[in-house]
Chains A and B, each alone.
Chain A
Amino acid sequence: MTKKRFVSATMAAIFAASLVAGCGNGGGNNSSTTTAAKKSDGKVLNIYCWNDEFKQRYEKYYKNTPSDVKVNWVITPNDNNGYQNALDAALKKQDSAPADEKIDIFLIEADYALKYTDTEYALDVKNDIGLTDDDLKDQYSYTKEIVTSTDGKLKGVTWQATPGLFAYRRSIAKDVLGTDDPTEVQKALADWNKFNDVAKQASAKGYKMLSGYDDSYRTFSNNVSKPWVDAKTSKIQIDDNLMKWVDQTKTFTDEGYNNKTSLWSDGWNADQGSKGKVFGFFYSTWGINFTLLGNSLDKKEADGGKAEVGNGIFGDYAVCQGPQPYYWGGTWICAAKGTDNVDLVKDIMKTLTCDKTTMKQITTDTQDYTNTTSGMNEIANSDFKSDFLGGQNHIKLFAEVAPKINMKNMSSYDQGLNEEFQKAFKDYFDGKVTKDQALENFYKAALEKYPNLKK
């Protein structure tokens, strides 16, 4: 008897306490940043992101932050979907959140862009924020396609463009094809059939065409003829181009045309160095000057090595367009519904993604390839030369490829399904399962992630 009463009394007390606490949260504002004037909105600019890349750009290139506005960076790492979880939770509370805690800006990546741009949480850059077509005309069209909602509204902007190329070893190309000239090599690699033929020739000479399974994946998945999911039936549709990737990679693996590595693994990095025997790598703007260059040096810069010809295979790489246009990477800026800083957000977007001078400055300082067609064309037509690429002007190639990228067949499921597709087929390449079994495993994983889809 006594015990029962005791327990129920405690339960009641606790529920009461949690109720009070719940109410207290809605009404009171205990943000440490709150200033006296609560009614004058917009004293805090809340920016949600997953790393500090944009923070660096913002702090260096945006000088107009009003002195009475505090910029609050909410950084949640991507691990285990952490960033999107945090962002989703915050967006859902956006209506009830106190003005100074409302999200103003959030960043997204292409692979899951539609998840946000197809909702009302992301504001229309033109109608809601006030950027004009004229402001946006210099941006590459694919960067706009990625953040255009299904009903045709532009929901985000980016300061960078990340077109991809195929970076190949000059010495190996000479050995296999008899030439290292980018135009000639491009002719030999102009489509996938030719690409596969070169792989065979390279293999005969003791080289690998690619390093790993997923090197070419993006090039295939960016050129699908239909989106991952049929909008009407919610049916998952596997594009022929993806199955082409499967068959190509299986052949490459079985014939020994690749080294069975994965992106970013130690083997993959090592393959890019002087001991590597790999013909080439699919890399976009940022990868070439940083990752690839760093990997090509024998004596690392940390050990006092210099980035110059003679150190490792510096100067032995060159770039060509490769079989199909694609992009890799990029970060988009979205304005959140309910922001109390519309004008400031507009100015930030305009300065960082529409202003040619600022963007060219970013390119000069950081070698980021920026989202200004005319600005990049100016650099492309200059006498710019990359020593690392043996004197080639790769900006010119980027400028040629970028307008060709077509991202019309995106879906909000791209990130989840692309990941699972590659994971499932890794077992097939490794010879652990049949093609049908791999497909079965893919469907299983896909439906776990997205219970609303159908096989």
Chain B
Amino acid sequence: MAKNVNPDREAAGRKGAHDRAVLTAQRTGCYIVLGILSFLCLFFFYILLINSTRAHAQIQQGFSFLPGKSFITNFKSLMANETIPVVRGLINSLIVAGGSAALSVYFSALTAYAIHAYEFKGKGAIFTFIMMIMVVPTQVSALGFIQLVGNLGLMNNFIPLIVPAIAAPVTFFFIKQYMDSVLPMELIEAARIDGAGEFRIFNQIVLPLMKPAIAVQAIFTFVSSWNNYFIPSLILNKAEMKTLPILIAQLRGADFLKFDMGQVYMMIAFSIFPVVIVYILLSKYIVGGVTAGSVKG
């Protein structure tokens, strides 16, 4: 605000004052809307945390906005629960979600680059084809997918959960759109003249330029993989391979003696924590990308 010295505002005295008043009103409006939305968004995290501090019997009886005293008890009982290898699950989830995100953005960028930077026969057809794939609902081929995984002998293996991320049409489409707007062909040609190989150009020049788009899609892919339950639950059944959502489902399906909503909420809070960290780390790039784009010459 301090450095906000606008030349045309100084020029027009009274009009400027009026403008300022309008601007202040606008800003206030913005802050109110943003405030309400942010409250709604954070509210659910608050409730999750609150519930993780409450005991099973309390949660069962209904709702509370005030924390309970069972945070440590819940945490201890979760950690002591032998059949729920939380830490192992965390590592598994990190491998699956991290692997998917990395493969997805790298190969989507590579695919997008192939379409963006080269002229070859059938390029238009390939682009249309990839766009068509996007239309196929994932659940549609779930049965066939599981059958295939079984036939390939890949049950209880992370490969069928990570590798398919290479062919991610939505990620491809987004990066392709982004490339069209920020990647000048002149730059690539200049690098070629310098004698750089095609693969090197992609890795060392193109990828760094794509950072904001990659960060955005990396987050999206990471999060959806992290929270994915349906397919992993059909592929992983060995305790040491299970990801967090499967463990949560298992905890919720515990028998009456062990059923403990406090533990369930603690586990949910526990599983959200790493994603929040990854998100906040990567969101820097998004924010950074925004400022880089809006800075005027």
Given contacts A76-B237, A79-B233, A79-B249, contact A53 B258 (CB under 8 A): yes
| 1/0 contact string of A192-220 vs chain B (CB within 8 Å) | 00000000000000000000000000000
Given contacts A266-B60, A266-B61, A273-B61, contact A18 B254 (CB under 8 A): no
Give A76 to B229 CA distance when docked, in angstroms.
12
Determine if A290 and B256 form an interchain contact, defined as CB atoms under 8 angstroms apart: yes
> B246 near A: Cβ within 8 Å?
yes
Determine if A302 and B234 form an interchain contact, defined as CB atoms under 8 angstroms apart: no
> A25 near B: Cβ within 8 Å?
yes
Determine if B253 and A50 form an interchain contact, defined as CB atoms under 8 angstroms apart: yes
CB-defined contacts of B56 to chain A, threshold 8 Å: 294, 302
CB-defined contacts of A18 to chain B, threshold 8 Å: 148, 151-152
Q: How many residues of A sit at the interface, in one of the four size bands?
A: 35 or more
Q: Name the one of A53, A266, A286, A297 contacting B62, with C-beta atoms under 8 angstroms.
A: A266
Q: Name the one of A56, A269, A329, A366 contacting B60, with C-beta atoms under 8 angstroms.
A: A269
Determine if B83 and A266 form an interchain contact, defined as CB atoms under 8 angstroms apart: no
Given contacts A50-B253, A303-B69, contact A75 B57 (CB under 8 A): no
- Closest residue of chain A to B62, judged by CB? A266
| 1/0 contact string of A52-73 vs chain B (CB within 8 Å) | 1101100000000000000001
> B166 near A: Cβ within 8 Å?
no
Determine if A303 and B239 form an interchain contact, defined as CB atoms under 8 angstroms apart: no
> B182 near A: Cβ within 8 Å?
no
Give A301 to B70 CA distance when docked, in angstroms.
11
Identify which of B237, B252, B256 gathers the most chain A CB atoms within 10 Å of its CB. B237
CB-defined contacts of A269 to chain B, threshold 8 Å: 60-62
Determine if A25 and B257 form an interchain contact, defined as CB atoms under 8 angstroms apart: no
Q: Name the one of B54, B238, B257 contacting A53, with C-beta atoms under 8 angstroms.
A: B257
CB-defined contacts of A266 to chain B, threshold 8 Å: 60-63
> A391 near B: Cβ within 8 Å?
no
Determine if B250 and A75 form an interchain contact, defined as CB atoms under 8 angstroms apart: yes
Give A74 to B121 CA distance when docked, in angstroms.
51
Q: Nearest chain B CB to A300's CB is how many angstroms away?
A: 4
Given contacts A82-B233, A302-B68, contact A51 B258 (CB under 8 A): yes
Q: Nearest chain A CB to B283's CB is how many angstroms away?
A: 31
Q: Nearest chain A CB to B111's CB is how many angstroms away?
A: 15
Determine if A24 and B153 form an interchain contact, defined as CB atoms under 8 angstroms apart: yes
| 1/0 contact string of A394-436 vs chain B (CB within 8 Å) | 0000000000000000000000000000000000000000000
- Closest residue of chain B to A272, judged by CB? B61
Give A226 to B275 CA distance when docked, in angstroms.
53
> A21 near B: Cβ within 8 Å?
yes
Determine if B237 and A75 form an interchain contact, defined as CB atoms under 8 angstroms apart: yes
CB-defined contacts of A80 to chain B, threshold 8 Å: 230, 233
Q: A51-B253, A302-B262 are in contact. List 18 more A-B contacts (CB 8 A).
A: A18-B148, A22-B152, A74-B238, A77-B250, A77-B253, A78-B253, A79-B229, A79-B249, A79-B253, A266-B60, A269-B61, A270-B61, A295-B57, A295-B60, A295-B61, A303-B68, A303-B69, A366-B257
**Can you show 28 pairs from A to B with CB atoms below 8 A apart?**
A3-B122, A18-B148, A22-B151, A22-B152, A24-B153, A25-B153, A50-B253, A51-B258, A52-B82, A52-B255, A53-B257, A74-B238, A75-B237, A75-B239, A77-B246, A77-B253, A78-B253, A79-B229, A80-B230, A85-B234, A266-B61, A270-B62, A290-B257, A301-B55, A302-B54, A302-B69, A302-B73, A303-B69
Report, nearest first, the 4 A-B pairs whose CB atoms are least far apart.
A302-B55, A25-B153, A53-B255, A52-B83
